[in-house]
């Protein structure tokens, strides 16, 4: 390089004007590092943070903020200078309210850069579990057909009540409008209303879908179709089981909806939706069609806030009907070692596997539930409903 180096400000002006010769005259790597964008890598935008992610300090939670920034100059995180180590920066902030915006600003001779993320503090966090059961319809048909004296003369509800008595477990049953063989919710009598109300502190009903078939009924249809089905089921639950028994859904059948459905779901009281957030055949599945980056994040975290809709996504931790008895503890136990997955256990199964007439009937299905719930109870997890407080946390 024969010519005297230009000032950095001049360099930026020149490159902005498109003088390619100047760029080539400088080591490429320097320009990449010096003018690269600042980016907060941790925490993730939408992260739900609890006591396991930081240090409780004076009514707040101190957490680490880290990321990448241009090599030179300084980085300010929420008003305080960050530590620098090459292109990496680290800082600490204290969360004091439920929602916090984190702004990282880089300033050097090339100019100013900024990246913002928002995070949620799960301030009433405690180790907890939520049990939800999908695809429910047969037990309602059974009760209506047999005209039992009590809801709990149906073996399915009787066994769920048994688990509740033993462990205090709370259940949300996501139901269909019809079994598609002539039974529909309007046929279910309202004479059990008092019994539903008496048990509504642990047993809730929620919308799941219009029917078991077709598969993925809400994946490729307008949100209005989902909302119409939602309203039909919700109206029936309130008619025959009361407001106290009604819960917003925990899972929409197959865990897939159009993105524009999230806001109307929020408006109907949905605050949390569970999914698998798993990759199958090269695509992310049972993920409410959210983007790949967030799906991957959720595949290894308890929860993530979608600020656009206000809905928190929760990763299902175990599907009892697809986990044999001997696989239950080995599935749950490793999660307790991972701070990103230890606090909230999203426990899940499907109704049909309880019924002897079902082709894939599991005679040990209740045993599986017992093993999972006993283990959770012994390990200090408290039963909650995700729609009470934030993700079932206190307060």
Footprint on this chain of Zn ion (rule: CB under 5 A): 134-135, 253
Residue with smaller CB distance to Zn ion, 124 or 225 = 225
Shortest gap between Cβ of 101 and Zn ion (angstroms)? Answer: 36
Angle at Cα 202 formed by Cα 364 and Cα 123, nearest 5°?
A: 110
Residue closer to Zn ion by CB (options 135, 184) is 135
Give the SS3 label for residue 305.
strand
Residue 224 half-sphere exposure toward CB, CA atoms < 13 A: 1
Minimum gap (Å) between residue 254 Cβ and Zn ion: 6
d(CA 328, CA 344): 16
Between CA 313 and CA 280 the distance in angstroms is 19
Rounded to a whole number of angstroms, the minimum distance from the CB of residue 389 to Zn ion is 26
Nearest-angstrom CA–CA distance, 373 and 169: 8
In the complex with Zn ion, the residue whose CB is nearer, 134 or 343, is 134
Cβ proximity to Zn ion, 46 vs 255, nearer residue: 255
Q: How far is the CB of 138 from Zn ion (least distance, A)?
A: 13
Q: In terms of CB distance, is 134 or 302 closer to Zn ion?
A: 134
Q: Sort strands 283-285 and 278-280 into parallel, antiparallel or unpaired.
A: antiparallel
C-alpha 37/C-alpha 258 separation (Å) is 32
Nearest-angstrom CA–CA distance, 208 and 252: 5
CB distance 328 to 362 below 8 Å: no
Shortest reach from residue 208's CB to Zn ion, in Å: 6
Closest to Zn ion by CB, 134 or 317? 134
Smallest distance from Zn ion to CB 393, Å = 26
């Amino acid at each position: 390089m024969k010519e005297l180096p230009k000032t950095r400000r001049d360099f930026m002006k020149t490159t902005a004007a498109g003088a390619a010769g100047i760029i080539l005259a400088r080591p490429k790597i320097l320009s990449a590092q010096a003018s690269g964008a600042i980016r907060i890598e941790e925490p993730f935008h939408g992260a739900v943070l609890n006591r396991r992610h930081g240090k409780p300090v004076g009514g707040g939670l101190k957490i680490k903020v880290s990321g990448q920034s241009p090599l030179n100059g300084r980085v300010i995180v929420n008003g305080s200078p960050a530590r620098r180590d090459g292109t990496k920066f680290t800082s600490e902030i204290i969360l004091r309210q439920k929602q916090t915006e984190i702004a990282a600003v880089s300033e050097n001779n090339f100019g100013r850069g900024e990246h913002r993320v928002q995070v949620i503090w799960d301030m009433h966090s405690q180790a907890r579990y939520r049990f939800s059961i999908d695809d429910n319809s047969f037990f309602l048909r059974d009760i209506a057909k047999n005209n039992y004296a009590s809801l709990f003369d149906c073996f399915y509800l009787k066994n769920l009540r048994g688990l509740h008595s033993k462990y205090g477990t709370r259940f949300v049953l996501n139901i269909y409008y019809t079994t598609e063989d002539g039974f529909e919710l309007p046929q279910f009598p309202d004479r059990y209303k008092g019994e539903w109300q008496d048990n509504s502190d642990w047993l809730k009903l929620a919308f799941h879908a219009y029917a078991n078939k077709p598969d993925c009924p809400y994946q490729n249809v307008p949100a209005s179709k989902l909302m119409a089905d939602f309203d039909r089921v919700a109206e029936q639950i309130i008619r025959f089981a009361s407001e106290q028994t009604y819960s917003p859904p925990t899972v929409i059948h197959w865990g897939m909806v159009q993105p524009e459905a999230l806001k109307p779901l929020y408006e109907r009281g949905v605050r949390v939706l569970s999914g698998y957030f798993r990759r199958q055949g090269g695509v992310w599945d049972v993920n409410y069609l959210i983007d790949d980056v967030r799906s991957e994040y959720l595949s290894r975290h308890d929860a993530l806030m979608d600020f656009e809709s206000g809905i928190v996504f929760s990763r299902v931790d175990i599907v009892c009907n697809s986990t044999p008895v001997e696989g239950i503890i080995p599935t749950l136990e490793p999660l307790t070692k991972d701070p990103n997955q230890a606090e909230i256990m999203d426990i899940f199964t499907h109704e049909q596997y309880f019924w002897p007439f079902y082709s894939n009937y599991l005679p040990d299905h209740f045993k599986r539930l017992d093993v999972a719930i006993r283990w959770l109870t012994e390990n200090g997890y408290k039963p909650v409903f995700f729609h009470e407080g934030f993700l079932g946390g206190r307060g």
